[in-house]
């Protein structure tokens, strides 16, 4: 039984991931500014830090060569994209700054999992992203 070699993300696939995380960071930034007055400074600072982390991950996707250890990369990318889209949509349902921090933290974990190129870590992070998004604002 042979093991398939890791699959490298194409430039377009990496760009798609970068854009998804950029959009999520931007949504969180808009939330932060829209709720500036009613968000405690410590939570506002934490949210801003997470925004920058997501923007940094977005940049990393554009510049780093990522190889995923999966036979077919497209389903893995589709699940990551689905997780980020769900998290981005969940920003519209945020009730508290803590909810925003939870989304940002989950998104950062998802991005970090992708950068590790570990299929199991990616799958777990996608599941957490979907769970967080589904529970937000409910």
Q: Is 1 part of a structural domain of the chain?
A: no
In a domain, 65, yes or no: yes
Cβ count within 10 A of residue 121: 16
Q: Per the structure, how many domains does the chain have? A: 1
pLDDT digits (tens, 9 = 90+) for 63-111: 776 666 555 677 888 899 999 999 999 999 999 999 999 999 999 999 9
Let me know if residue 2 belongs to a domain. Answer: no
* pLDDT category of residue 28 using cuts at 50, 70 and 90: very high
Q: Is 92 exposed, middle or buried (0-12, 13-18, 19+ CB in 10 A)?
A: exposed
pTM: 0.86
Considering the domain boundaries, does residue 116 fall inside one? Answer: yes
CA atoms within 13 A on the CB side of 17: 31
- Containing domain of residue 86, as a range? 7-135
């Amino acid at each position: 039984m042979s093991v398939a070699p890791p699959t490298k993300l194409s430039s377009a696939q990496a760009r798609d991931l970068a854009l998804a995380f950029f959009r999520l960071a931007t949504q969180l930034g808009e939330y932060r500014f829209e709720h500036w007055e009613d968000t405690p400074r410590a939570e506002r600072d934490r949210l801003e830090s997470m925004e920058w982390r997501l923007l940094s991950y977005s940049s990393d996707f554009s510049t780093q060569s990522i190889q995923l250890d999966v036979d077919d990369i497209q389903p893995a990318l589709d699940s990551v994209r689905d997780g980020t889209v769900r998290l981005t949509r969940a920003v519209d349902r945020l009730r508290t700054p803590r909810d925003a921090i939870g989304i940002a933290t989950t998104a950062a974990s998802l991005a970090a999992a992708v950068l590790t190129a570990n299929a199991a870590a990616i799958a777990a992070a996608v599941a957490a992203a979907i769970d967080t998004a589904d529970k937000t604002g409910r």
